[in-house]
């Protein structure tokens, strides 16, 4: 996709500057894209687009697509509820020791992004905005 024009323009009205938006997909700023390219594996595809506010100011964002999901769950140590090979509930999650990814989606549950403590610290150092960090165990309790 390198060298191509952005795919489309959308209108944005946000009052706060952000590096991450999660609606019907994951949208990131150029700044967050640069951080991810520097510190994570190349398991991501970035699809550029321009957002235009009512004043006509443009800003480039990227839709993030994960090329694969990670099979990082230690099923023997985790307390999860599965239905039709999909995670429905997580009471306690333990990642396998061979999981080396810092930014990924979990195989069997591809809705939320998981990041390592190491990458969280990098995001904080780089002043990445718009992300709420929720421990996985808290996020999935019903």
Give domain status of residue 93, yes or no.
yes
pLDDT one-digit tens code per residue, 103-137? 888 777 756 788 888 999 999 999 999 888 887 76
- Residue 121 has a pLDDT of 94
Residue 36 lies in a domain: yes
Does any domain span residue 1? no
The answer to whether residue 18 is domain-embedded is yes
**What is the spatial distance between Cα 84 and Cα 86, in angstroms, rounded to a whole number?**
5
Name which of 140, 128, 133 is nearest 82 in CA terms.
140
Quote the Cα angle for 110-79-98, to 5°.
65
Residue 8: its pLDDT value, please? 45
Q: Give the pLDDT of residue 135.
A: 78
**pTM score:** 0.73
How much is the pLDDT for 10?
45
Nearest to 68 by CA among 33, 27, 103, 28: 103
In a domain, 46, yes or no: yes
> Is 88's pLDDT higher than 90?
no
The 8-class DSSP code of residue 54 comes to T
Quote the number of domains for the chain: 1
Q: Which of 54, 50, 57 is nearest to 27 (CA)?
A: 50
Q: For residue 4, is it within any domain?
A: no
Neighbours of 61 (CB within 10 A): 24
**Does residue 95 sit within a domain?**
yes
- Mean per-residue pLDDT of the chain: 79
3 within a domain of the structure (yes/no): no
Write out the residue range of the structural domain in which residue 110 sits: 9-139
């Amino acid at each position: 996709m390198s060298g191509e024009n952005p795919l489309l323009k959308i209108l944005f009205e946000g009052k706060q500057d952000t590096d991450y938006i999660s609606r019907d997909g994951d949208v990131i700023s150029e700044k967050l894209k640069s951080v991810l390219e520097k510190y994570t594996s190349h398991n991501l595809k970035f699809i550029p687009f321009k957002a235009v506010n009512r004043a006509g100011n443009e800003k480039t964002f990227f839709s993030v697509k994960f090329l694969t999901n990670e099979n990082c769950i230690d099923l023997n140590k985790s307390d999860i509820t599965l239905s039709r090979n999909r995670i429905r509930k997580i009471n306690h999650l333990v990642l396998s020791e061979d999981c080396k990814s810092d930014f990924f989606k979990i195989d069997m549950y591809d809705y939320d992004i998981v990041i390592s403590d190491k990458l969280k610290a990098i995001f904080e150092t780089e002043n990445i905005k718009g992300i709420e960090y929720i421990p996985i165990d808290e996020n999935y309790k019903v």
